[in-house]
Structure formats: C-alpha cells, structure tokens
Structure 1
Amino acid sequence: MILKGKAVTRKIYDKIKSGLADQQRQPKLAVLVIGYDPASDFYVKNLQKNGKKNGIKVEVINLSSEISQDDFIKEIERFNIDPGTDAVMLQKPFPEHFDDEYIAEKINPEKDVDAFHPVNMGNLVLDKPGFIPCTAAAVLEILDYYEIETSGKNVVVLGRSNIVGKPLANLLLRKNKTGNATVTVCHSRTENLPSCIRKADILIAAIGQPEFVKGDWIKEGTVVIDVGINLKEDEEGSRYTGDVLYDECEGKSGAITPVPGGVGSVTSAMLLMNVYKAFKNRAEKE
C-alpha cells in the first residue's frame, strides 16, 4: 500500500476551514526569511498558497542576508508582541554565525508553531499541552489516517534530530492511539544498523541521506515512513529521493510513503494546523 499524503492533507485542511467558518478574522502567520535560498523560497510560497486556500494569512518578512543576530531578534520580538500576529515562524537557513538555540528561546512559546522553544520541547516530553514539531506531527497523522497500529509494535526511528527523531520517539511512547510503541532510536553510532532495522514493524527514516536504507534491511511487511527529501543528481538527472531506496523497499514493505507526495505535504499542513491552534488558543484567552 502506498501511503499518499494528499488524502491526509485534505482532511487537515477541511478541519481548519471548518474551525474558521464562524470566526471574525483570519489567523495570521509571520514568516521571517533571511536572504534568498531557492528551496526555502519555494517552500514559503507554497505555504502562502495553501494558507490563502484555507483561510490563513501568511505574511512573509524578507530580511537582508547581512542582518545581525541582534537585529533579527528585534524582528522576532516585534511579532511576539504584535496583537495581529498569531504565530511566528523562522525560516531556515540562518547565517552561519547565528546561534540557533539562542534564537529559538526568543520566540514567544505561544506563537512558536515550529515548536523549537524549550518550553514546547519540554511540554512534549512531559506529555503536556503545547505545539508539536510539524514533521513529527505529520508522521503521526499519516499513521492515524491509514489506521496503522502502533500499540505494542517495534518502531525503529532512524535519526535523532531535535526536529524529528527525538520528538517522534517521545510521541510514540505516549499512552494514546498513535503511541504505546516499543521504540528504538538508531543513529550514526548504532552498531549493526541493518540488523537493528530488520526488527522494525514500523520504520521511520529521518536522516537526510538519499536512498540510505536498502531493501534487504527491512523484513517483509514492514511499514516504512520516509521523512527524508533529498535532491539527488546522477546520470538520470536531478530528482528528489527519500532516505530509503524506494524501488527495493516498496515490494517488500507492507506500506510505504512516497517521496515526493508523502510526509512533506502533510508537514506543511500540520504547520498551518499549528497556526490555527495558536489562533484558537489566543481567542479563548481574550
């Protein structure tokens, strides 16, 4: 079975539109962009388009590539206190000299829809209300939509990033519909990696290495969630691939997400869902 993202995103967007139907104003997301990056520009424009279709205003603030870290933080603080802004997103890449962790601490946690602030990360670990990183949330949405059982299953998360791997490991341990899994996190120092992956009932690959996982690394019937999206150039030209070798894994897997058309599109939808939640949270407090 191919786990396509389109049907999942449609369900998410329908929920957003339904929730906004009786609202007096549009939710607003401020996206701070430094300089120009082609991939970043494509993503942000797509976000604007999807926001417009679903009742969310996405305002892009283009900043000079020469901006200092202090001035960038002033921009963040401006939107932190702006009553007309419900959510703030900091689009990467940042200049090399920026301190990513320090900057993440400057976002208002209640507007931090990427869930990078330590408060939101801590809430996730402690199973308290708060924003969930969009890619991790997208993986759970796919599992839920396609009714893939996680309870009692061996789930291998390949990758330990703060954005995907670590949040997912914690979310899969929760006592809920998409949790109660037995979770193993594999990474660059894991010994005998193929053997570890072969134990997985569900494999979630999130390392940013094109076609890294081979077909003989997974057992028959494994559910493969491929988070990676990598631009690969070879004799066939340029193309996007995931972290698993799709042609080898598709026939052996019980279900698999395609790249593109899988996790990536759902991630964008979950970001807008977080904007909607930020908007609702503010409305309830007013």
Structure 2
Amino acid sequence: MGAKLLDGERVAAEVRAEVRDRVERLRAAGVRVGLGAILVGDDPASARYVEMKARDCASVEIASRVVRLGPDASQADVLAAVESLNADPEVSAFIVQLPLPRHLDPDAVLWAIDPAKDADGLHPVNLGELALGRPRVVACTPAGIVELLHRHGIVLDGAHLVVVGRGLTIGRPLSILASLPRAGLNAAVTVVHSRVRDLASIVRSADIVVAAAGSPGLVTGAMVRPGAVVVGAGTSFEGRRLLSDLADDVADVAAWVTPRIGGVGPMTRAMLLVNTVEAAERRAGRSEP
C-alpha cells in the first residue's frame, strides 16, 4: 500500500472537540443544544447508527432524544412524530433515519421537517439553497468529505473532481458543493454513474475521485491516475461485513485514500453534530466566527 490514509477518525475527533467548545459557549449563554432522531421499524443497521449518534452527542454534551416507532407505523404516525420535534424547544435539529419502511413516503416526511431543524441537510429547501449557491444546512456526508480533504491539505480549487454516483445523500449535493465559487471549493466537477460508457477513462482523468455508488469494488486501481486522491463514500454490506466502492488495489496507485472503516463514516456523524450546533446558534441569534 503506497497511499497515505485520509484519517476520518482523527479529523472527526477534532471536529467534535470544536463542537464541544461551541456547545459550552451556548450553555454559558443559557442555550441548550439537542439532537433528535426518529427511528421507524426494526432495521438493525439503522438502530446501530442511531445509537452511535447518541454516543456522539454524549461526547460533546449535546442532549439526545430518540422517537421510536414500530415497523407498522402509519404515515400519519411518522408525520406526527416530525411535528412533535418541530415544536420541541429542547430539540435544536433532528433527523428521520432512512431508509423508512417501504409503505411510507419518505419525500412527504422530508417535506414536513422544519428546514431550520433539518440536521441531515436533505430538506428540499436546504438542497435548493445549496443549488442557488447560498448553502445554509449542507448534507452531512458531502460536508464531511470536503472537511476531510481540507484538513489533509488537499486543494479543491481548480482540481478536477469526479463523483461516481448521483444519489440524493452524497453524489448530487457534493457535486454542487464542491463546484461553488467559494474559497476552498471551486472544483471542476464531473458526475458519472456505474452505467456510463468508458467509466474508467473518466475516472482516470480526475485529480480527486469520490466513489459514492454503493457498488462494491466499482473503482479499481487500474481506473485511478497515479497520485490521485480517492475517497470511498459508497458502502454496502455482505452479511455484517462493510464493503467499500473502492477495490483494495486503489491504495497501490493513489496518493491519498480513505480506509474501508474510519474514513467517511466518522466525518458524516461529526458533521451531523456541526449542523445541530449551528441550528442552535442560529436560533439563539449567534453565529460562529
């Protein structure tokens, strides 16, 4: 393995320490910070993820509230839970854990969230603000990827970034965020997917590759230009084993690469805390310098 690791665990710990300082300043001003979550059904992966978020909250002294609904919860039940967190002054921001059971309409649920309390950054209003070039709440994984690159000294400005995947949670918002004409961003972005003809040649042209298709081993070492930066953001499971969109041999070619575990995942959770504390700051009329 020749590549250096993009250490998401280390950077996430730095971000959590900064969040903790902001929480303490808010508490000194009489403002409490709380993160809510709505968990519907009995999917083990979703339950584990919500538990991890609760532990993250405890580590930075953010209060955590989880609303649990059974797998047979109706659309009205879920919308009522959303409204309860919208109205709860102790909840600065919250998420609805996805995926929802198949009988529910996730779009209607996302629309029901107060955009100011949208911790995931997936509300259509917040995605629209991002598309208009004035991001307020940014989806956690794209924000985490950008932060991970910044803190390893990797320059986006003027770089060719290829995003493999066009999903709502990573590919689409990342492509907009990275291309914004702002300091630290301003990349030339190409968005592709697994069915694009000659995918390998497009990926090989990139300075930075983000694989976010959820297709195990999709991006191989032969597809990567030597010295490129490669981020594995798409994951899937084989039993309980977490699989990356990156083949193992990518590390033999790239200059920087994320590890299979400890790369993007910790950054996603860290940025959820950032979105939560920023929601509390906005509500209190304070902004972080």
Q: Same fold (TM over 0.5)?
A: yes
AA in 1 matched with 2:9: K
In the alignment, which residue of structure 1 is the partner of 2:268? 267
Alpha-carbon distance, 1:25 to partner: 4.4
| Percent pairwise identity | 34
In the alignment, which residue of structure 2 is the partner of 1:241? 243
Q: Which ranges in structure 1 are unaligned for 5 or more consecutive residues?
A: none
**TM-score (normalised: structure 2):** 0.93
The question of whether the paired residues in 1 share the 8 Å contact of 2:35 and 2:57 is answered with no
Aligned mates of 1:255, 1:63 — CA distance in 2: 42
The question of whether the paired residues in 1 share the 8 Å contact of 2:194 and 2:213 is answered with no
AA in 1 matched with 2:43: D
Aligned mates of 2:243, 2:22 — CA distance in 1: 35
SS at match of 1:204: strand
SS at match of 1:231: strand
Q: CA RMSD for the aligned pairs? A: 1.3
SS at match of 1:32: strand
Deviations 1:81-140 (CA, angstroms, capped at 9, x unpaired): 122221121012212121211211100000011112111001111121410000000100
AA in 2 matched with 1:164: I
In the alignment, which residue of structure 2 is the partner of 1:122? 128
The question of whether the paired residues in 1 share the 8 Å contact of 2:31 and 2:284 is answered with no
The question of whether the paired residues in 2 share the 8 Å contact of 1:26 and 1:55 is answered with no
1:1-286 to structure 2, matched below 5 A, reads: 1-22=4-25, 23=27, 24-232=30-238, 239-246=241-248, 248-284=249-285
Aligned mates of 2:70, 2:143 — CA distance in 1: 32
Aligned mates of 1:161, 1:281 — CA distance in 2: 29
Aligned mates of 2:202, 2:222 — CA distance in 1: 12
The question of whether the paired residues in 2 share the 8 Å contact of 1:47 and 1:268 is answered with yes
The question of whether the paired residues in 2 share the 8 Å contact of 1:229 and 1:260 is answered with no
SS at match of 1:21: helix
Aligned mates of 2:282, 2:253 — CA distance in 1: 44
AA in 2 matched with 1:161: G
Count of residue pairs brought into register by the alignment: 280
